[in-house]
Amino acid sequence: MLPRKQYIEVVKNTPLVSIDLIIEDTEGNILLGYRLNNPAKHTWFVPGGVIRKNEPFVEAFQRISEAELGFKIQLNEAVFVGVYEHIYPTNFAELEGFGTHYIVNAFHLKLNTKTIELPKQQHSEYWWANKQELLAHEKVHSNTKNYFNEYKAFSHTQ
């Protein structure tokens, strides 16, 4: 992990590669977290995180799932949705003059339970929302909504 000053320079000058986890329960509800930090602060968003330099993708997937969900998910348990681009006017450090650019690898995973103990470091609360709720809610970030507008496998979701 880079020191804060160096990471700020990376965010300022390069795109970040990340993984988003589209978690669906057995009833077709999608897990969303209410973001505590920028970018996307104070919006509902799917769990996810940044891949570190020289971190193998499989290990990044496990680390991010554990950090965001409280347990590790194996990459082969998820279905690749696609690559997305997320561009924000803000950054994690809340500094003026530059935003954040992500190249996102999105994955879909179905869980048998929603009684999991979810961490509170990145999200103040969690919500299992159906497709209509999340598409209609003004505080669900447009980048999260795009997964459901663009990915055909979610067309059956309630």
pLDDT tens profile 13-41: 999 999 999 999 999 999 999 988 899 99
Task: Supply the pLDDT for residue 114.
Answer: 55
Q: What is the pLDDT of residues 138-152, one digit of tens each?
A: 999 999 999 988 765
pTM of the model: 0.89
Provide the domain count of the chain: 1
Q: How confident is the model at residue 156 (pLDDT cuts 50, 70, 90)?
A: very low
48 among annotated binding-site residues:
yes
Strands 16-24, 48-50: pairing is: antiparallel
CATH number at residue 69: 3.90.79.10
122 among annotated binding-site residues:
yes
Domain that holds residue 70: 4-156
What type of residue is 55? E
